[in-house]
Amino acid sequence: MSSVNLTTEQFQAAMCMAVADTVAATGVKKGSFLNCTLTFEGRTDYWTTINFLSAVEAFKAVECISDEDALTSIPLLLKGDAGTWWRIVRDEITTWDDFVKSFKFNFAPQKAAYILYQEIMSEKQGNEATETFIFRKRMLFHQLPEPKHSEQQQIDMLYMLLSFRIRERIPRHSINTFDELVEAARRVEQLLQEKDKLETDEADAPEAPITPQLPSVHRKKKCSYCRNSGHKESECKKKKKKSSVVIAEDIPSTSAQHTVEEVHASPRKQPKFSCIGCGAPGVYRSNCPTCRNKLVSPESPPPHEIQFWTVNINTDTRARPVVFIEIEDTTSIAYIDTGANANIASPQLYSQLLKKGYKFKQETLDITLADGIPKLYPVLVTEVTVRLCGKDTQTTFYVLLESKNNLTLLGIEFIQAAGIVLNFAQMTWNYVDQNGTYELFEEDSVTVSDKMRDSGIETTPAV
């Protein structure tokens, strides 16, 4: 049997003749999309539209449907909004190429290059597989206009978006293609899964039983007071030390009525502890009558406890994370503080809220600052709507009247209300009920200004 080499045109012509013979034998009408099972509802999505067109053109080529018959029978595949669109533009389209061009223009709009670059670089790899993450990014690269980036350039742009656990095990110089990167990432992820499973199994494993030690033949004499060996009760230093120190139980219960001067004037030896508020010896601050009378008086309202903690050490430490919040048309810098259970407004933000007509209610609250001592402070309270990355959250802000230099803080109240999940290791965060990962910016002024300028945000000074 001799082999025959056919060109592409000859092969397509032969296939169309075979299809025509089959159609003639079966009696099925040729030259239409009658037997095509594809449909299009009019969803405005780039890849949905492109995939539909590719499948339709493949069916058209296999069935040898002419352009005229294709335009006549294409309404069989267009449903919903797509069918309505076709009835409107039918008279304006005369060729199949005109149909493809108009169809892409209406249902696969081409995004601008700067928007595609923003979508590529704004999101880092989260918990999804590296293979899936790279596939999504390469779909965005495919939509960029000519000239296209080379594969090496695409890898360079995506490498720093990968998870740190992947990058530390796959050096950039060790990969040249996306296939090599995906293959190496699969091996690393498999090893990481095995490591996590082993650590979980070891944590859940029961502790080994402790083998009891046999008693020693030669036992040393033990002290009957402290139960330690090597000395007698008459030589016990702990007993002597306890007998020489006046502990809290030795002070009569009526001593709570004495003043601080009477306690200090007592000839008895001073106890080891004292009130951290006024210094009265022998009493804790929670039981100190002097401090209690200062904190709570009949005229003062019952305290509403909020705790506000923040520590700033002026050494070479990590920068604190900040985000950009919007209150109406004002953009401000706010520090994320998981140690504060309330939101604190800076004096500058307070002045901005006053200009916008917000109403404040004055209260006196028991506040614990970084020194750990609760005190009564006059504060102002208001309700505001904070917008963070397109999501609005109703929250409460407190203004410390006695503080002039404090920062704007978002505490646990806002973090839980907004549903924020923080990832301090990679300086990112995301909403628990939404897709997408956002960046936590550093507090450094230069970095913050650059980030805000790159994001198109106009800074609001001193807020």
Q: Does 71 lie in the same domain as 166?
A: no
pLDDT beyond 50 at 459: no
Q: Average pLDDT over the chain, rounded to whole? A: 76
Separation in Å, CA 246 to CA 225, 226, 251, 275, 353: 19, 19, 8, 16, 56
Mean pLDDT of 129-138: 89
Residue where a domain stops, chosen among 107, 132, 149: 107
Classify residue 224: in a domain, yes or no: no
Q: Does 172 lie in the same domain as 120?
A: yes
Whether the Cβ atoms of residue 222 and residue 236 lie closer than 8 Å to each other: no
Q: Does 102 lie in the same domain as 131?
A: no
Q: Does 81 lie in the same domain as 24?
A: yes
Mean pLDDT of 164-174: 90
Classify residue 281: in a domain, yes or no: yes
Classify residue 234: in a domain, yes or no: no
pLDDT beyond 60 at 147: yes
**What's the burial of 143, exposed, middle or buried (CB within 10 Å: 0-12/13-18/19+)?**
middle
Residue where a domain stops, chosen among 77, 107, 137: 107
Mean pLDDT of 391-397: 90
Classify residue 77: in a domain, yes or no: yes
Q: Does 311 lie in the same domain as 326?
A: yes
Per-residue pLDDT, 434: 86
pLDDT beyond 80 at 203: no
Q: Does 283 lie in the same domain as 328?
A: no
Instruction: Give the tens place of pLDDT for each residue, 339-375.
Output: 788 888 888 888 888 888 898 988 888 787 766 677 7
Classify residue 237: in a domain, yes or no: no
The count of domains in the chain is: 4
- Top-confidence residue, 154 or 2: 154
Q: Does 126 lie in the same domain as 99?
A: no
Q: Does 446 lie in the same domain as 314?
A: yes
What range does the domain containing 389 cover?
A: 307-454
Q: Does 122 lie in the same domain as 74?
A: no
Mean pLDDT of 240-255: 54
- Top-confidence residue, 20 or 323: 323
Q: Indicate which CATH number applies to the domain containing 314.
A: 2.40.70.10
How far apart are alpha carbons 161 and 137 in whole angstroms? Answer: 10
Whether the Cβ atoms of residue 384 and residue 395 lie closer than 8 Å to each other: yes
Mean pLDDT of 151-162: 90
Q: Does 450 lie in the same domain as 312?
A: yes
Q: Does 448 lie in the same domain as 319?
A: yes
Instruction: Give the tens place of pLDDT for each residue, 69-111.
Output: 888 888 888 888 888 888 888 888 888 888 888 888 888 777 7
Per-residue pLDDT, 306: 47
How far apart are alpha carbons 411 and 177 in whole angstroms? Answer: 45
Classify residue 208: in a domain, yes or no: no
Under 8 Å CB-to-CB from 102, ≥6 apart: which residues? 89, 92, 93
Under 8 Å CB-to-CB from 428, ≥6 apart: which residues? 124, 437, 438, 439, 440
**Angle between helix 151-159 and 178-204 (nearest 10):** 30
Classify residue 240: in a domain, yes or no: no
How far apart are alpha carbons 115 and 456 in whole angstroms? Answer: 13
The tokens describing 122, both together, are 């704004």
What letter would DSSP give residue 276? T
Q: Does 97 lie in the same domain as 124?
A: no
How far apart are alpha carbons 235 and 226 in whole angstroms? Answer: 11
Per-residue pLDDT, 376: 80
Each as own residue / partner, the long-range contacts of residues 137-145 (CB below 8 Å, 24 or more positions apart, any chain) are 137/161, 138/178, 139/47, 140/116, 141/116, 143/46, 143/110, 143/111, 143/116, 144/113, 144/116, 145/110, 145/113
Classify residue 72: in a domain, yes or no: yes
Per-residue pLDDT, 171: 92
Which of the four pLDDT bands, split at 50, 70 and 90, describes residue 382? very high
Whether the Cβ atoms of residue 329 and residue 352 lie closer than 8 Å to each other: no
